[in-house]
Structure 1
Amino acid sequence: MNQETKEAVPGVTSVIGMLPKPFLVQWAAKMAAEAAVDNLHAVTAIAENDREGAIAFVKGAHYRYTKSRASIGSEAHDMFERMIRGEYVSTRYMSDAMRPYHAHFSEFLDTVQPELIRAEDVTWSDEHRYAGSFDALLRIKDEDGVAATVIADWKTSKNTYPEVALQMAAYGFADRLIDPDGNSEPMPPIDAAAVLHITDEQWAFKPVRFDAEVFGYFLRLRETFDWDREVSKTVIGKPFAKGGNKQITTGTQRRA
């Protein structure tokens, strides 16, 4: 929310959520089928006494998986922010699930040697009315020692997806930055965008296309968001006329 105007605007993630994702239907169905087959005896036992409970268990498989992955992602992002800010993060009491993420992020820091400019600040667009929180703004030097300002995002998902380019463009083409205290300043020039894809098995720092064309696609989704949340609710008016629910009995029904 804008500290000056108190205006509520959609978040970048919500805007990108306007993209159709038909594959999610098949994925959710597959997760439900796997849950049923892998827990066949348990599901059968539950169903004997609680049919609805068994159905809820099977159909909730994709939600449980997503919630589990989100928990890991949140914990990892918190750790990454501490590490990129230079805080020492001990592994002594760290969960086994987090240890590989810590090791891979440490290797990324040692290999790339990024200099932190900003982290976890909000980008705000006055012109297009959206906001979003980015992971990091970094200064990175290439092999020749030439520095570039790079807006970066950490991803702990199974893969990296094209939508990250829309996300980075939305952040980088915003008008200003807002820190946790509500202080605002113009968005600095951004040279490039990148995503650090980091899992429990490996990490990769990948360039992401960052230009006006990609930003243009994000803006079209921004318009779609307004249609979905606001305009679509205004296009059907009150009926000019309407009738009751009187049922007509046909001759065929009378002869039956």
Structure 2
Amino acid sequence: MGSVRTIHRGGSRFYIHPDRPEIKHPGVTSVIGMLPKPFLMYWSAKLTAELAVDSLPFVAQMAERDRQGAVDYLKGASRRYTKLRADVGSQAHDLFERMIRGEHVGRVHPDLEPYRAHFADFLEAVNPRLERAEDVAWSDTHAYAGSFDAVLTVWLDADGKPTPDRSGVPHLLMVDWKTSKDTYADVALQMSAYAHADRIIAPDGTAEPMPEFDGAAVLHITPDQWALKPVRIDADVFAFFLALRKTFTWDREVSKAVIGRAIAKSAARLVTGTQRRAM
């Protein structure tokens, strides 16, 4: 079995079957992208307005020379912010993976130092054991795939609190790292999809059945603090993800073939001789 490759089509990521390249499953995050997010419109408008107000002289000078350039500059405010946050998140995720694997990490960029310090504190306070990291969860049953952050064993006491000396009861958890401003409910959809997949595929192409999990957790790290929060991944939550999976098929496939060609329509508009001569 080969490794799993990915491609992007129509703004979505697809995972290619390691042995049958004609099979392409949408990524978990692309499926969750079917959730309506009306708040994004107001957030984007707010960023644009703030940028305009905070840089009035600069925008005015730009508009005098290149009106469309000024429009594009303001219009791209939310896109630039999102890319900046995504870049920081990607670098932090890479840092977390190296640390959870036991790699020594020396000095890092000042922007990443708070994340490094908080993740080190998490490792000391919880003392988890890494089982898997950055492998692909693959569902043949429901036709989706996705890369998860980590599968960890965490030892918990009777109150569900971590015991860093590993004296508590071991729990196998699907774990996700988040560096956003807050933790959002759709992380439960994401992690339930991973946990209910059929198998795990490693980078070398080897596969094994998805294990039974005792639960899931999200490690939320910001420059100011960290918190490990339990996340529901039960059958009820997974059912909502499957509803979005059907919506994805509707949006990308079925909706494009439900309206046929007109079987009757208005007659072509008469073109007069005068109009023809003027053409």
Q: Structure 2-normalised TM-score? A: 0.86
How far residue 242 of structure 1 moved from its aligned partner, in angstroms, is 2.4
**Within 5 Å, which residues of 2 pair with 1:151-190?**
151-190=174-213
Cα-to-partner distance string for 1:13-51 (whole Å, 9 max, x where unaligned): 000000000000000000000010000000000001100
Change (3 A) 1:33 1:85: same
Alignment-mate amino acid for residue 2 of structure 1: H
Name whichever of 138-147 and 118-127 sits farther off.
Answer: 138-147
Establish whether residue 102 from structure 1 lines up as the match of residue 125 from structure 2: no
Match of residue 31 from structure 1: 47
Partner of 1:150, secondary structure, is strand
Establish whether residue 147 from structure 1 lines up as the match of residue 163 from structure 2: no
Partner of 2:216, secondary structure, is strand
Q: 2:137 aligns with which of 105, 123, 140?
A: 123
Cα-to-partner distance string for 1:215-242 (whole Å, 9 max, x where unaligned): 0000000000000000000100011022
How far residue 177 of structure 1 moved from its aligned partner, in angstroms, is 0.3
Q: Percent identity?
A: 60
Change (3 A) 1:245 1:90: farther
How far residue 184 of structure 1 moved from its aligned partner, in angstroms, is 1.1
Cα-to-partner distance string for 1:82-103 (whole Å, 9 max, x where unaligned): 0000001101xx2110000000
Distance 1:159 1:28 in 2: 18
Q: 1:88 aligns with which of 61, 85, 104?
A: 104
Match of residue 205 from structure 1: 228
Gaps in structure 2 of 5+ consecutive residues? 1-15, 158-166, 271-279
Cα-to-partner distance string for 1:32-84 (whole Å, 9 max, x where unaligned): 00010000000000001100001011111101100100000000000000000
Distance 1:63 1:197 in 2: 23
RMSD: 1.2
Match of residue 26 from structure 2: 10
Gaps in structure 1 of 5+ consecutive residues? 248-256
Partner of 1:9, secondary structure, is strand
Partner of 1:220, secondary structure, is helix
Establish whether residue 196 from structure 1 lines up as the match of residue 211 from structure 2: no
Establish whether residue 135 from structure 1 lines up as the match of residue 158 from structure 2: no
Establish whether residue 231 from structure 1 lines up as the match of residue 258 from structure 2: no
